[in-house]
Structure 1
Amino acid sequence: MPFDLGATARLTAECRDPGGILTTAGGVTVTVALPDGTTASPAASESGTGQYRVDYPTAQAGRHVIRWVFTGPADAYTDSFDVREAAPPGILSLADAKVYLRKTSVEDDDELRTWIESITAGIEGMCGPVIVRTVIERIDIRRAATLSLRDAPVIELVSLEPLRPGGTSYSPVDVDVDHSTGIVRRLDGGGFTGPLVATTRVGRLIVPAALTAAARIILRHLWQTRQGPQRPQLGTGDFDVNEPVQGFGYAIPNRALQLMEPYRLPPGVG
């Protein structure tokens, strides 16, 4: 499971001789490749014969690769771990998810948080950003009467600047933004010259109750499939799946799709 940014990741490895017996190494080197391309070399300690660990304080979000190299005997081990961003998007809180699934223990908390992030991505893929965030988008145009922002709904166009020095910038007060579709027009009727870089705040300040309810339904559906191998139930019931949804397979049951329908992105948006 991913670690939270700023948490200490306990990482372990074993040193074995050519016969597979756990053995205390004469030396151990640990290298962590960070998401930004730099590396760290934390010190390892032996917790038992041939069993080593590193307590690594995380400082960057993203995929990390850890490489263990032992000498005397020669052995090596490579693994990876992920670190969540500081504020991962989640349409449900962990507490909400646990109440809905009637769970009181903490043993499944990390898995539930992963499911919540996955469900959020699925809903946003069909309905546009739900969680408020700032995005930076490159718009590759030479000349255009209107601009189409990639992410909608749009809360605010923060800036619209040229990609290259000497280009034309456009003040947000001089343009009109269709918040539901992300279409941008100049108020004076003129066009845009690019390429441009747009900085926008996207998402929904108030998450519609229907989308929250859809997220709970998807969570229950996915959690039930986790309990053991089973085929998706096809039919017309609220919790059945009539057909796979493009990009999401059988992850979204009928009832959730019906709740999401008023908020689905128009064709060509998103």
Structure 2
Amino acid sequence: MPYDLGATARLTAECRDPGGTLATAGGVTVTVTLPDGSTVTPVASENGTGLYRVDYPTVQAGRHVIRWVFTAPADAHTDSFDVREAAPPGILSLADAKTHLSKTSSADDDELRSWIESITSGIEGLCGPVIVRPVTERVTFRRASSLALRAIPAIELVTVVPLLTGGVGYDVVDLDLDPDTGIVRRLDGGVLVGPLLVTYQVGRPIVPAALTSAARIILRHLWQTKQGPQRPQLGTGDFDVNEPVQGFGYAIPNRALQLMEPHRLPPGVG
């Protein structure tokens, strides 16, 4: 499971001799490659014959690669781990998810949080951003009366700066943004000159109840996979899955799709 940014990742590896027996290494080098390409070399400790551990305090979000190299005997091991961003978008809180699944212990918290992030991504793929957050987008054009931002609803422009040196930038107070379409125009009716780097806020300050209800239905549907292999249900019931949704397979049951329908993006948008 991913670690939270700032949490300590406990990383382990085994050193074995050519015969496969655990063995104490004469030397061990550990290299962690961070998402930005930089590396650190934490010190490993042995906790039992051939069992090595590193406690690494995370400082960057993203995929990390850890490389263990042992000597005497020669052995090596490469693995990876993920670190969540500081505020990953989640349409449900952990408490909401646990209440919906009637869970009181914390044993499944990490898995539930991963499901929440996955469900949020699925709903946003169909309905556009739900959680308010900043987005930076490269808009490539030469001259136009308007530009169309890709992520909608787009609720506020933050900065509009030239992408190329010597280009034209714009003060956001001089621009009009249509949240529902992402169309940006100059208030004076003038022409926009690109290419531009646009930073803007997306999402819904008030999340529609239909979307949170859909998220709960999807969560219960997906959580059932823990109960054992199940074939996709095909039928006409509210909780059945009649057909796969493009990009999401059988992850979204009918009832959730019906709740999301008023908030779905128009075809070809997003």
Q: Into which bin does the TM-score normalised by the smaller protein fall?
A: over 0.9
C-alpha displacement at 1:226, in angstroms? 2.7
Conserved 8 A contact 1:63-1:81: yes
| Paired position in structure 2 for 1:156 | 156
Deviation at 1:267, TM superposition (A): 2.5
Match of 2:190 in 1: 190
Matching of residue 224 in structure 1 with residue 247 in structure 2:
no
Alignment partner, residue 258 of structure 1: 258
What corresponds to 1:145 in structure 2? 145
Matches within 5 A, 1:1-270: 1-270=1-270
| 1:85-125 CA-partner distances (Å, limit 9, x unpaired) | 00011000011000000111111110000000000000001
Q: Which amino acid aligns with 1:159?
A: T
Alpha carbons 1:157, 1:199 under 8 Å: kept: yes
C-alpha displacement of 1:228: 1.1
Supply the distance in 2 between the matched residues of 1:235 and 1:45 (Cα, whole angstroms).
56
Q: Structure 1 residue 268: deviation in Å? A: 3.0
Aligned residues: 270
Structure 2 CA distance for aligned equivalents of residues 58 and 167 of structure 1: 38
Q: Distance in 1 between matches of 2:231 and 2:113?
A: 24
**Cα deviation, residue 155, structure 1:** 1.3
Identity %: 79
In structure 2, how many angstroms separate the alpha carbons of the residues matched to 1:211 and 1:33? 38
Alpha-carbon shift at residue 188 of structure 1 (Å): 2.0
How many angstroms does 1:269 deviate by?
2.3
What is the alpha-carbon distance in structure 2 between the residues aligned to residue 56 and residue 172 of structure 1?
A: 42
Cα distance in 1 between the residues matched to 2:171 and 2:263: 29
| Range 163-172 or range 114-123, more displaced | 163-172
SS of residue paired to 2:47:
strand
1:48 is paired with a residue whose SS is: coil
User: What is the one-letter code of the residue matched to 2:76?
Assistant: A
Secondary structure at 1:12 match in 2 = strand
- Paired letter, 1:35: P
State how far apart, in whole Å, the 2-side matches of 1:266 and 1:25 are.
Answer: 60
CA distance in 1, matches of 2:264, 2:170: 30
Matched residues in 2 for 1:194 and 1:62: separation? 31
1:185 positional shift: 1.6
How far off is 1:227 after superposition? Answer: 1.6
Going from structure 1 to structure 2, the CA distance change for 1:267 and 1:188 (only over 3 Å counts) comes to farther
Q: Which amino acid aligns with 2:117?
A: E
Secondary structure of 1:118's counterpart equals helix
CA distance in 2 between partners of 1:58 and 1:263 (Å): 37
Deviation string for 1:19-46 (max 9, x for gaps)?
1111111000000011010000000000
> For 1:240 and 1:177, how far apart are their aligned partners in 2?
40
What is the CA distance between 1:127 and its match in structure 2?
A: 0.6
After TM superposition, which residue ranges in structure 1, 4 or more long, deviate above 3 angstroms? Answer: none
Using the alignment, how far apart are the partners of 1:170 and 1:10 within structure 2?
47
Quote the RMSD (CA, aligned, Å): 0.9
Distance between the aligned counterparts of 1:23 and 1:144, measured in 2? Answer: 68
Q: Match of 1:229, as an amino acid?
A: P
